[in-house]
A and B are shown apart, each in its own frame.
Chain A
Amino acid sequence: MSPYKDTNLPRLEKDLGSHHPINNMKDFIMELLIELGFEIVDGPEIETEKFNFDMLNIKKSHPARQMHDTFYVNNKSSLLRTHTSPVQVRGMLEKKPPIAFISGGKVFRKDDDATHLPMFHQVEGIYVDKGVSFANLKDLIFKIVHSLFGENIKLRFRPSYFPFTEPSAEVDILAKDNKWLEILGCGIVNPVVLENCDIDSNLYSGLAFGLGIERIAMLKHGVNDIREFYKSNLDFLNQFK
């Protein structure tokens, strides 16, 4: 028994640290997708042109293949993956449909400003089965976006272009300031990619999507400069306890 008048004595506060907000967001999204039935696949950050580009129908003449965007390694013998899609190619080569993969991690592009960094994070998913359609893709995207931004968020699909999906779409959400903000890319897997992975595109079709983690984290936390995430500043990190 304390001899004092009241027992409002200070409690011993736990000195807790924090998860990094980018890893936290990445894991949050991955968990969400695991709940929906996706399985995690992993792949290397140092990739070959074959898996990063060729297998994904990104032709030699595609602007992304210029030295401009890609980091090459050891005299162009390999490269730093520019997206997490090569992991899915590796996954498709290993397993036969139906398959539902997600992969998440670091990707690299030769960019450096307030909204782009040479290293950033993506989560991508692919589902291949008989009869997978764009209408199914829309259902999945609504589920993902609603889980991230709430049921009341307004979103729109916009036609877009990626060499590995056709049709392709980008998805925007209506942000607080009444502006549309792009948050993810998706589409129906280009049959060429399925064939590249020894999947019969007459029997199977697939859907794919990819999200940039930094962009989502910036939106969710109200961070305006992407570089804040990578200064390892305790004043910043401690806000994410």
Chain B
Amino acid sequence: MKIAYKHLAKHIYPVPSLNDLSDKLFHLGHEHEILDEIFDIEFTPNRGDCLSINGLLRDLNVFYDIKFNNEKFDGQIKSYEIDFTNNAIDDCPRISFLKIEVDGDIKSYEDELNEYFKIFDINKKNFFTDVSNYIAYETGQPTHCYDSKKIKNQLCLDEINITSNFSTLLDKDIKLVGKNLVFLDDKKVINLAGIVGGESTSCSSETRSVLVECAYFNPEKIIGKCIKYGIQSDAAYKFERGVDPLCQEDVLRRFIYIVQKHANILSLELFSKTYKKYSKKLVPYDLNAINNILGSNINNNEYKIYLRSLGFTISKNTIEVPSHRSDVKTQNDLAEEVARCIGYNNINIVPLQLKKSKPLKGFERVKEEKIKGLLIDNGFNEVINSPFSEISLNNAIKIDNPIDSNKPYFRENLKVSLIENLLFNERRQQDSVKLFEISDIYTQDADGTQVKQRKLGIIASGRMGKNYQNFSKKIDQSYVSSIISRYVSNLESVEEEINRNNLNTKAKAKIYFLEINLSEFNEAILGYESESSRLKEFKEYSPISDLPKIYRDLSYSLSKNASMENLNNLITKFENKFLKEVFVFDFYENTKTNKIKIGYRFIFQSNEKTLTDEDVNQIFKPLIEESLAIEGIEIPGIK
């Protein structure tokens, strides 16, 4: 919610700076951003009482001397004999109606009303609606303005089951369905209570007789309606977080005060009714409880100062919670109030010693770590995939409200995701793809009984690896199972070959896939010593380019007097911003001819442009020349 610095500051003595006020708001738990001296505050959902200038000032009273703006109309108001029936007294225990008649022109906006529209640059609607909006901003209590000339018969508040179209004053028609709390005028819906009024009874610039409704609505009847009907309503936002159940008459008197500044009031009539008595909220005064919860050591005096500054009243052994604080009910709630006053950062630290011996890791967890280690040692990358799938093979578990309506099912296997991962990497010019995923897989029987299984899926295709032993070897039928077979008794499922015909791909390398329950691994896996320990330092990631890569190979032939060291240095020092990777893919010692063959693969890629052969030739030229200058080194095919 946006609240202007100026609107707060003018009630605070001495006037705090913007930064000081910002610090205090954070201190109290009101996270915010600041733009053009306006606080955009993210109030927590339990603090409906803060959604206004006055509400926030009540909280800031902990730190500052606050002069609340209490100017309001305090004259006599004639009682209003309205024909109103409340059939929903549990959901609306208190309600007031104020009828104001004015005549003549409305003056241009003055003082706080003028400032409100200026600071927030809000479009004006009509006088009474504008006052209503301002009052909600100032007091936190929404009011609704009907043009009283447009209301014909008996008014009624009721929660009814209804299916009908409703034209709102927001220029939006909605279709009401199911149970709704509504105001009816001669059985016709004129207002979706606490959310949005109807177009048919709304005020216009012509309105000179207004009926202002001011009520407390049960938050549970408001919540969810805006989402249901696709509307945005500031009133609903306030009601669903809880407004002050006792403020109606004060708010309406403030309403009159603002109207009075802008128009000639002819008559005022007020109807105010309590259908269910508000019962005071009392919490025992128990300082020990507070200090135990916080681990603090505050004394009675401090405690009372904090409570009083927040509007709590203390009598003997009881604390009375102010009516606007619907969130405070228990000692823990009071402890939070105290903590906010002290400042969370100022609460002591008391060392925590867990009264437990160091627990052992479970067998299953160790086993899973070992399996991961085994696969990673063999060049596999772990992936994590979304569980949402478009396929139901066997009564898959179905999401009622999927984020993507094409993928409403919980996946029944790891295969589909891993094939997608493989194809994705092939399209990115990867010629060796070895991936695995470990995940819980949830399925259900025909009768709906859910079954959870912890599964490992492995997919592999293309080269066995990048080093000179693996580079020229292709992954074959027994590659995957040969890695795990020692650790699985009676490995039944050898990897299956995935047919490429049904996949949208031009690649040819054979794809092998294996899926296995983790429970099938035996205890032998516990003895496996992994070479690839988990990452303990967290490397800075470098952004990935989506542009094509260019590969270049350089195959050297070295005679026995050639300096491998010089060649090595040359290649290690070869730097270019487009060079992503270099590795030795071929290495062979010919003992008969006394020559070494060594092949390097260079991979180039730009983050900005598609590299051409010519670009790479230019980059490569000096490297080739310098390496040929080393004695005893040749590049077959190049002089």
A residues near B, CB below 8 A? 2-10, 12-25, 27-28, 34-40, 44-46, 60-63, 66-68, 71-76, 80, 98, 100, 106, 110, 112, 118-119, 127, 129, 131-140, 142, 156-161, 166-170, 188, 190-191, 205, 207, 217, 220-223, 228-241
Contacts and interface: CB of A to CB of B under 8 A. Distances in A.
A20 B336 contact: no
B534 A28 contact: yes
18 contacts: A19-B535, A21-B535, A60-B220, A62-B45, A63-B45, A72-B401, A73-B397, A119-B387, A132-B352, A136-B295, A138-B350, A157-B344, A158-B26, A166-B332, A167-B294, A190-B332, A232-B385, A233-B544
Nearest to A142: B349
Given A4-B558, A60-B220, 8 more contacts: A10-B468, A20-B384, A27-B534, A35-B358, A118-B388, A133-B292, A136-B351, A237-B383
A232 B359 contact: no
Given A142-B349, A221-B541, A6 B564 contact: yes
Contacts of A8: 564-565, 568
A237 B294 CA distance: 44
A188 B352 CA distance: 14
A136 B354 CA distance: 10
Contacts of B536: 28
B381 A17 contact: yes
Contact of B354 (A36, A106, A112): A36
Interface string B300-343: 00000000000000000000000000000010110110011000
A15 B381 CA distance: 11
A156 B345 CA distance: 6
Contacts of A127: 352, 354
B171 interface: no
Nearest to B241: A63
Given A16-B376, A166-B336, A205-B292, A3 B594 contact: yes
Contacts of A167: 293-294, 332, 335-336, 339-340
B115 interface: no
A18 B358 contact: no
Contacts of A190: 332
Given A19-B534, A62-B45, A221-B538, A136 B352 contact: yes
Contact of A9 (B29, B383, B542, B596): B596
A119 B356 contact: no
Contacts of B223: 61, 63, 66
B401 to A, nearest CB: 6
A123 to B, nearest CB: 14
A234 B428 contact: yes
A142 B467 CA distance: 44
Contacts of A6: 563-565
A229 to B, nearest CB: 7
A5 B566 CA distance: 11
Given A134-B335, A138-B349, A205-B292, A191 B356 contact: no
A71 B381 CA distance: 30
Nearest to A236: B544
Contacts of A62: 45
Contacts of A20: 381-384
Chain B, interface residues (CB within 8 Å), range:
35 or more
A109 B47 CA distance: 24
Contact of A34 (B358, B452, B542): B358
Contacts of A129: 355
Contact of B350 (A15, A22, A74, A136): A136
B120 interface: no
A5 B589 CA distance: 13
A235 B607 CA distance: 13
Given A119-B386, A134-B294, A40 B365 contact: yes
Contact of B294 (A39, A45, A98, A135): A135
Interface string B460-503: 00001111111000000000000000000000000000000000
Contacts of A36: 354
A36 B428 CA distance: 43
B80 interface: no
Interface in B338-394: 339-340, 344-345, 347-352, 354-359, 361-362, 365, 369, 372, 375-388
Contacts of B382: 17-20, 23, 237
B388 A188 contact: no
Given A5-B564, A133-B350, A44 B452 contact: yes
Contact of B224 (A27, A66, A230, A239): A66
B525 interface: no
A142 B29 CA distance: 19
B159 interface: no
A110 B538 contact: no
A21 B383 CA distance: 9
B551 to A, nearest CB: 14
B28 interface: yes
A18 B533 CA distance: 10
List 3 A-B pairs, minimum CB-CB distance, nearest first: A135-B295, A159-B29, A133-B295
Contact of B349 (A23, A139, A228): A139
B384 A23 contact: yes
Contact of B376 (A19, A100, A205): A19
A138 to B, nearest CB: 5
The CB with the most chain A CB atoms within 10 A, among B380, B381, B384, is that of B381
Contacts of A25: 538
B161 interface: no
B544 A235 contact: yes
A13 B594 CA distance: 24
A66 B227 contact: yes
Interface stretch (B7-15, B183-191, B432-440, B617-625): B432-440
B540 interface: yes
Contacts of A137: 352
Contact of B296 (A74, A135, A188): A135
A98 B421 CA distance: 45
A45 B400 contact: no
B291 to A, nearest CB: 8
Given A10-B468, A37-B356, A46-B450, A4 B560 contact: yes
B377 A159 contact: no
A72 B403 CA distance: 11
A128 B428 CA distance: 50
Given A10-B598, A230-B384, A238-B381, A159 B424 contact: no
A236 B464 CA distance: 19
